[in-house]
Structure 1
């Protein structure tokens, strides 16, 4: 794994991307010392999406087996932090 600042990345993007693609190691991108992004290989990206799809399917199956419960609109609005005045104003 390598770490690159945004400033460094501007002048070395091509080599960083090629290194990630060939090695499979991710590159961490920082801005003022804070990690803000990651560059990953296409294989890792596809693998992450496959795992997310499986997790979504499992979550949906769980929801379907538990059934759905109705929620009063006032409770939903309160949970979302939305007031009736805001809804009427829009």
Structure 2
């Protein structure tokens, strides 16, 4: 993440937007030396919102914890096993 003053961002706004969109690097914008905003790519924003939605769901958090426990216990599946399970669901 880079930090730029509001004046610098305003002077080179199009370039800043192009860089953020192409590199997914966030830019913290400061005014009088204090952070006031963050510029980030739309894809990154949408990903953050999706993550927040998932983490705000108690059931999803519980399922994630359960999956982590199972993985730590060695209960893992290779690609062929996952594909077979998905194919069985479609039948």
Give the match's secondary structure for 2:28. Answer: strand
* Dislocated runs of 4+, deviation >2 Å: none
1:13 and 2:13 correspond? yes
Q: CA RMSD in A?
A: 1.9
Deviation at residue 44 of structure 1 after TM alignment? 0.9
CA distance in 2, matches of 1:58, 1:46: 20
Shift of 1:56: 2.0
Distance 2:49 2:58 in 1: 14
**1:3 equivalent in alignment to 2:3:** yes
* Matched residue, 1:31: 31
Structure 2: any 5+ residue segments left out of the alignment?
A: 63-91
- Matched residues in 2 for 1:25 and 1:10: separation? 18
Between the aligned partners of 1:3 and 1:12, the Cα distance in structure 2 is: 14
Q: For 1:1-90, list aligned pairs within 5 A.
A: 1-58=1-58
> How many residues end up aligned between the 2 structures?
61
SS of the equivalent of 2:36 reads: strand
CA apart distance, 1:10 = 1.2
**TM-score, normalization: structure 1?**
0.60
Give the greater-gyration-radius structure (CA). 1
